[in-house]
Amino acid sequence: MAAVVISGAVITKDDGRSGMYKEKCESCGYVSGTTKNFSSGGSGNSVMSSSFVCHKCKNRQDVKIKH
């Protein structure tokens, strides 16, 4: 199953078992230059959760990816 962004990210790679993403601020559209990893739990019902503070507008953004 392909990973699906719920909020705060742009998926850059997804092979079904693991993937990579960049943080994205939903307020101003800033996308981080840093790539981060996530791994799948296998069931397709796992949600990876994280958060960050936008470097551009200082908004606190939640990151959620269903995988």
Are residues 26 and 61 in contact, defined by beta-carbon separation less than 8 angstroms?
A: yes
In this predicted model, what pLDDT tens digit does every residue of 6-50 receive, in sequence order? 999 999 999 988 899 999 999 999 999 999 999 876 666 789 999
Q: Is the pLDDT confidence value at 1 over 90?
A: no
Number of domains in the chain: 1
The domain containing residue 30 runs over which residues?
A: 4-66
CA dist 3 and 14 (Å) reads: 7
What pLDDT does residue 2 have?
Answer: 86
What pLDDT does residue 42 have?
Answer: 61
Other C-beta atoms closer than 10 Å to the C-beta of 38 total 19
Over residues 59-63, mean pLDDT = 98
